[in-house]
Structure formats: C-alpha cells, structure tokens
C-alpha cells in the first residue's frame, strides 16, 4: 500500500461564478467544467438526487488541483458559515507564492479580505490569510530570499 499524493481539494460553493473568478484572478488555471449527476456520484457521496456543476483548477506548475462544486440538488440548508481561522475542521488552503503584497492587493481589489496582516516569520517567510468569496480562506506564503 502506498499514498502517492493529494489528488485535489474540493470546495463546495453557492456562488460558483464568484468563486471561479476569484481563483482565476488568484492565478490558477482552469482545467474544465462539467455538470455531474446520476447514480454513480450519488453512491460515492451518499446523497440522493445529485445535480452539481464542477470546475477544476490547477496551479501553474500543475502540482495542485482544486475542485469547485456547486450543488443544485440537494442544497445545503445551513448556508455559508463564515468560520474563524480556529474553527474546527479544514479551514484554509496554503499556497507558496511570489510577491505576496501584489497578490493581496490584486485580490483585495476584487473584494477579498485580508484577515490579519502580512507578517514576516523569522526572516524565512512572509505569511498571511486572505478570505475570498464563500468564506474561502487562503494562506499565502512567500519564502524570503537572501
């Protein structure tokens, strides 16, 4: 038995166009879009009457993939929960970036919110959390080069 890699991270969203635009603006590349429904997906995820739209993205180096999913049926009755960074469960996705300040400025112009501040961690990394649409939190990490 062997684990090779993480295949993708799935993010369930309500406003698929806004989330799609956020990740395109961030710099991910769209791989494709599809409508998904049928017994095969229902048996995998344990829900009935599934109808969803899926958009797949990858990082420019092709090493990481993100799947955005908009469920038309069944819908989540709880709505979007704007969780804090310390809320239990999966809370953020971390990306290694270059020019963290430029990325943050670009995303803020599109409505993203810098959660705290860009911080220098032991002169090794600049780090920050930024919240996009649907409460999606990205951690950005820029390695400081000397």
* Phi and psi angles of residue 78, each rounded to the nearest 5 degrees, phi first: -85, -20
Quickly state the pLDDT bin for 89 (edges 50, 70, 90): confident
Q: Is the pLDDT of residue 38 over 80?
A: yes
Check: CB of residue 64 under 8 Å from CB of residue 10: no
- The pTM of the whole model exceeds 0.75: yes
Q: How confident is the model at residue 18 (pLDDT cuts 50, 70, 90)?
A: very high
CATH of range 93-143; options 2.60.120.10, 3.40.50.2000, 3.10.180.10, 3.90.1150.10: 3.10.180.10
Task: Calculate mean pLDDT across residues 107-133.
Answer: 95
Average pLDDT of the segment spanning 6-33 = 95
Name the segment(s) of the chain with CATH classification 3.10.180.10: 9-73, 93-143
Q: Round to whole Å and give the CA distance between 130 and 70.
A: 22
Preceding amide of 137 cis, omega within 30:
no
Give the integer Cα–Cα distance in Å for 53 and 40: 15
User: Cβ contacts of residue 52 below 8 Å, gap of 6+?
Assistant: 35, 36, 37, 41, 69, 70, 71, 72
Q: How far apart are CA 121 and CA 51, in angstroms?
A: 44
**pLDDT at residue 35 tops 80:** yes
Comparison of pLDDT for 145 and 127, the residue scoring more: 127
| Average pLDDT, rounded, for the chain | 93
Contact 58, 64 (CB under 8 A): yes
CATH number of 9-73: 3.10.180.10
Contact 68, 13 (CB under 8 A): yes
């Amino acid at each position: 038995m062997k684990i090779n890699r993480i295949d993708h991270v799935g993010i369930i969203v309500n406003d698929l166009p806004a989330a799609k635009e956020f990740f395109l603006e961030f710099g991910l590349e769209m791989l494709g879009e599809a409508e998904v429904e049928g017994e095969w997906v229902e048996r995998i995820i344990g829900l009935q009457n599934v109808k969803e739209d899926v958009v797949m993205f990858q990082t420019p180096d092709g090493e990481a993939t993100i799947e955005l999913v908009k469920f038309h049926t069944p819908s989540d009755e709880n709505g979007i929960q704007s969780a804090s960074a310390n809320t239990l469960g999966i809370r953020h996705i971390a990306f290694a970036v270059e020019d963290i300040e430029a990325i943050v400025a670009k995303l803020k112009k599109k409505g993203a919110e810098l959660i705290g501040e860009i911080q220098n961690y032991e002169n090794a990394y600049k780090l920050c959390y930024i919240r996009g649409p649907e409460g999606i939190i990205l951690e950005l990490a820029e390695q400081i080069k000397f």
